[in-house]
Amino acid sequence: MQTVGLIHTLEQRLNRMQTVGLIHTLEQCLNRTQTVGLIHTLEQCLNRMQTVGPIHTLEQCLNRTQTMGLIHTLEQCLNRMQTMGLIHTLEQCLNSMQTMGLIHTLEQCLNRMQTVGLIHTLEQCLNSMQTVGLIHTLDTVSWLNSERQATHHHSILISLC
């Protein structure tokens, strides 16, 4: 994949949609579901650092926050693979883990926090943006996870996107 182009494409799509960013949508979801923990920590990082680039912010979060759980796992993956590009690392993670693992960990985290609908909402966002490549892979993983949990109740967050 052309990793650098993928990030630029995502930023362009967000700008065309007149959206502050995908993270801002996630922040709105968090406010409405009263979610705490890992994702809330990411939201706090974004607010404290006052950064407009969510990818750059996430990279800075990894360096500055000693966060446990999913983010810490992603940081460890970055170190093991000795890769500078965060999205490029995520792409490699998805390939090496056969599209399971990292996303499944996020799903488990959401389940432990008794949160529903977030992954499905992200899937709908990705579908509406008609994004291909890495993001399309994320969409596929989200869809597979939602198929596995087809009997679970999804919240009204689905309507956010």
Q: For the segment 76-125, what is each residue's pLDDT rounded down to a tens digit?
A: 444 444 433 444 444 444 444 333 344 444 444 434 333 334 444 444 44
Predicted TM-score of the model (pTM): 0.19
Q: For the segment 57-68, what is each residue's pLDDT rounded down to a tens digit?
A: 444 444 444 444
In three-state secondary structure terms, 132 is coil
What does each C-alpha distance from 78 to 86, 92, 106, 119, 134 come to in angstroms?
7, 10, 17, 23, 17
